[in-house]
Amino acid sequence: MIIRSAAMPDTSSIKLTRRNLMRTAMLGSAAATSFASLAFANDAEHPLATTRSGRVRGQKHQSLYIFRGIPYGADTAQFRFQPAVKENSWSTVRDALEFGASAPQPKSSENTSEDCLYLNVTTPGLRDGRKRPILVYIHGGAYNNGSGSDPQYDGINLALRGDVVVITVNHRLNLFGYLYLAGFSGSAFPYSGNTGQLDLVQALQWVQEHAQEFGGDAGNVTVFGQSGGGAKIITLMAMPAAKGLFHRAFTMSGQQVTAAGHRAATQRAQIFLDALKLPVERLDELRTLPIAALQEAANARDPSRIENSSLYFGPVLDHRSLFRHPFYPDAPQQSRHIPLVIGNTRDETRAFLGGDPANFTLDWAQLPAKIAEQQYVDIHPDVVVAHYRQLYPHYSPSDILFAATTAGRSWRGAIIEAEARAEQGAPAYVYQLDWGSPLDDGKFGAFHSLDIPLVFDTLLQPGSRTGNSPEAQKVADHMSRALLAFAKTGNPSHSGIPRWKPYSLKNRETLVIDVNCRLENDPRGEERKFYAQAPFIQRGTF
């Protein structure tokens, strides 16, 4: 039986058990001494797994085994701006009942630490000889924030529905994962620009090593991720260190056509050092400076016209771990054999621009300035407005703002990737989520990140904006089943949707996901053609 959007019952049961046991332990030293035996006398409820560094104790929930906070690397504070190393071993059984710390990041409500290399496993079986598909989710939040412990990423329903292993991962972010220091003469940090990516490589190596222990198939690993998670996956597809570690890739609103080059990344690093008032000659002091001081320096203004905010950090074409741009000038040859899903939502930018109520009440006089500020493409805003008024005469100024910025920003990267895969003759399955959130009178539509709870089938988890109507559940069924079919066969088609054909340059086949899905050729084709007149500029690459 599939659990419908349970509010993480496994977490609450763990906390309740341990809280009651702690009260028992406080009654006296004898009770305290017997705490471990009281807590975990029932191995059926608290299963054990063996990792390369020691045994871990998890939690049983219905037919699933859940392990949280398993380390796959050592505390990165000891290796700041350097590739991670293997986690330290432990001799006693280690509890894997609570999520590990998230990477240092601004304004996080979670526990954060440089000791952040942890992953979480939800599996239907342990050491049972079954070769289940393994799904590894890489979280979004650009390259700046987020973690694998978001309630929307709960893997229970996927694991139950599909008999698959679901893993979520934490890794280094922002300046700790992507500050490029190799551009300075004599730098002792040659891999600093991509340590966050190399963390993910190490996590995937851990998955390969432990697949059998957790009832999975090391030869069938699907990585999936939304926004920054998708971009990280696309970057991994071009990194030699990641070759052979995954076999399918499912990306949602996350593209990475180009990476930052040496000049751009070094320029940002110099701005960062200037904010710290730290000369290059004292670069080694970065190893021990307080986290808060580093984070404050990262608030310096980014030089990019696109960013218009604090410093951007993302993957770097460093010619040490990343030797080519992820999808420029073509699709990477090393991942040609890997089936790829490329998805976007129809109203992406309502997530970013919808926080300003004024953007929902624009008039025609205000629209051009908003277009110029937010579209990230250098086309005269009056030309943009005129084109959209011709295409969609019924659109309001606000409708045009959201449509034009969506088409000119992340969707451009998705089209480029799909075209590159088609030219390569490699399978790429493209989707466009049209079904919109019914909340707030539907004004946010199919906004950026709406597909996360639909793919995980976690409609009622905190953070989800889908509601739990029958229509929402039907769309979640479409998307979660597509992911599971893709993980098992390399093709996302299933009986609940039309046959999903790979993207071709001739037809531009795209699955439009709604309550009733349909396969369309070149949806929004006139918008695509319009924006093709200007070059696409990836965030952070100049």
Catalytically annotated residue among 147, 227, 321, 493 = 227
- Please name each of the domains of the chain with its CATH number: 10-252 (3.40.50.1820), 354-408 (no CATH)
User: What is residue 17's predicted lDDT score, i.e. its pLDDT?
Assistant: 35
Mean pLDDT of 311-330: 97
Q: What percent of the chain has pLDDT over 70?
A: 91
Report CA 221 to chain centroid distance, whole Å: 16
Under 8 Å between Cβ of 118 and 425: no
User: What is residue 37's predicted lDDT score, i.e. its pLDDT?
Assistant: 35
Under 8 Å between Cβ of 77 and 93: no
List all residues 6 or more positions away from 213 whose beta carbon is below 8 Å from its beta carbon: 49, 50, 51, 126, 127
| Predicted TM-score of the model (pTM) | 0.91
Mean pLDDT of 84-113: 96
Closest to 256 measured CA to CA, from 145, 355, 144, 143: 143
Q: What percent of the chain has pLDDT over 90?
A: 86
Q: For residue 35, what are its two tokens?
A: 């705490």
Report pLDDT digits (tens) over 282-294.
999 999 999 999 9
Instruction: Return d(Cα 333, Cα 421) in angstroms, integer.
Output: 10
Range name among 105-109, 277-281, 337-341, 385-389 with the lowest pLDDT average: 105-109
Report pLDDT digits (tens) over 382-424.
999 999 999 999 999 999 999 999 999 889 999 999 999 999 9
Helix, strand, or coil (residue 142): coil
The type of residue at 432 is Q
Decide if 307 is catalytic. no
User: What is residue 9's predicted lDDT score, i.e. its pLDDT?
Assistant: 34
Place of tokens 């998670």: 229
Under 8 Å between Cβ of 519 and 499: yes
Q: For residue 122, what are its two tokens?
A: 């939800």
Residues facing 168 on adjacent strands = 120, 137
Instruction: Return d(Cα 13, Cα 17) in angstroms, integer.
Output: 6
> What are the start-end ranges of the H helices in 347-489?
350-353, 367-374, 381-391, 397-408, 410-424, 451-456, 470-489
User: How does the average pLDDT of the chain come out, rounded?
Assistant: 91
Pairing of the two strands 165-169 and 216-226: unpaired
Catalytically annotated residue among 348, 417, 419, 509 = 348
Instruction: Return d(Cα 63, Cα 125) in angstroms, integer.
Output: 8
Instruction: Return d(Cα 458, Cα 452) in angstroms, integer.
Output: 8
Range name among 88-92, 293-297, 302-306 with the lowest pLDDT average: 302-306
For residues 43 and 359, the model is more confident at 359
User: What is residue 69's predicted lDDT score, i.e. its pLDDT?
Assistant: 98
**How large is the C-alpha radius of gyration of the chain?**
24
User: What is residue 16's predicted lDDT score, i.e. its pLDDT?
Assistant: 31
Helix, strand, or coil (residue 213): coil
Whole-Å CA distances, 437 to 355, 446, 541: 15, 6, 33
pLDDT confidence band for 308 (50 / 70 / 90): low
Mean pLDDT of 127-135: 97
User: What is residue 44's predicted lDDT score, i.e. its pLDDT?
Assistant: 72
Q: Tell whether the model's pLDDT for residue 157 goes beyond 90.
A: yes
User: What is residue 109's predicted lDDT score, i.e. its pLDDT?
Assistant: 86
Pairing of the two strands 132-138 and 165-169: parallel
Decide if 448 is catalytic. yes
User: What is residue 43's predicted lDDT score, i.e. its pLDDT?
Assistant: 66
Range name among 17-26, 314-323, 345-354 with the lowest pLDDT average: 17-26
Q: Tell whether the model's pLDDT for residue 253 goes beyond 50.
A: yes
Under 8 Å between Cβ of 152 and 159: no
Mean pLDDT of 46-55: 97
Q: Tell whether the model's pLDDT for residue 374 goes beyond 50.
A: yes
Q: Tell whether the model's pLDDT for residue 540 goes beyond 90.
A: no
Decide if 325 is catalytic. no
User: What is residue 21's predicted lDDT score, i.e. its pLDDT?
Assistant: 31
Q: Tell whether the model's pLDDT for residue 6 goes beyond 80.
A: no
- Classify residue 69 as left (phi > 0), alpha (psi -120 to 50) or beta: left
Whole-Å CA distances, 111 to 55, 99, 107, 144: 24, 9, 11, 16
The type of residue at 97 is L
Q: Tell whether the model's pLDDT for residue 27 goes beyond 60.
A: no
Please give the torsion angle defined by the CA atoms of residues 197, 202, 203 and 208, in that order, rounded to the nearest 10 degrees. 130
pLDDT confidence band for 186 (50 / 70 / 90): confident
Report pLDDT digits (tens) over 447-482.
999 999 999 999 999 999 999 999 999 999 999 999
User: What is residue 338's predicted lDDT score, i.e. its pLDDT?
Assistant: 98
For residues 41 and 369, the model is more confident at 369
Full DSSP string of 504-523: -TTT-EEEEESSS-EEEEST
Q: What's the order of all strands across the beta sheet hosting 94-95?
A: 48-51, 54-57, 94-95
User: What is residue 307's predicted lDDT score, i.e. its pLDDT?
Assistant: 58
User: What is residue 525's predicted lDDT score, i.e. its pLDDT?
Assistant: 97
Instruction: Return d(Cα 407, Cα 506) in angstroms, integer.
Output: 20
Report CA 333 to chain centroid distance, whole Å: 23
Catalytically annotated residue among 46, 61, 247, 448 = 448
pLDDT confidence band for 248 (50 / 70 / 90): very high
Report pLDDT digits (tens) over 187-226.
899 999 999 999 999 999 999 999 999 999 999 999 999 9
User: What is residue 11's predicted lDDT score, i.e. its pLDDT?
Assistant: 35
List all residues 6 or more positions away from 440 whose beta carbon is below 8 Å from its beta carbon: none
Q: Residue 134: in which H helix or E strand, if any?
A: strand 132-138
Instruction: Return d(Cα 315, Cα 311) in angstroms, integer.
Output: 13
Q: Tell whether the model's pLDDT for residue 360 goes beyond 60.
A: yes
Count CB atoms within 10 A of the CB of residue 210: 22
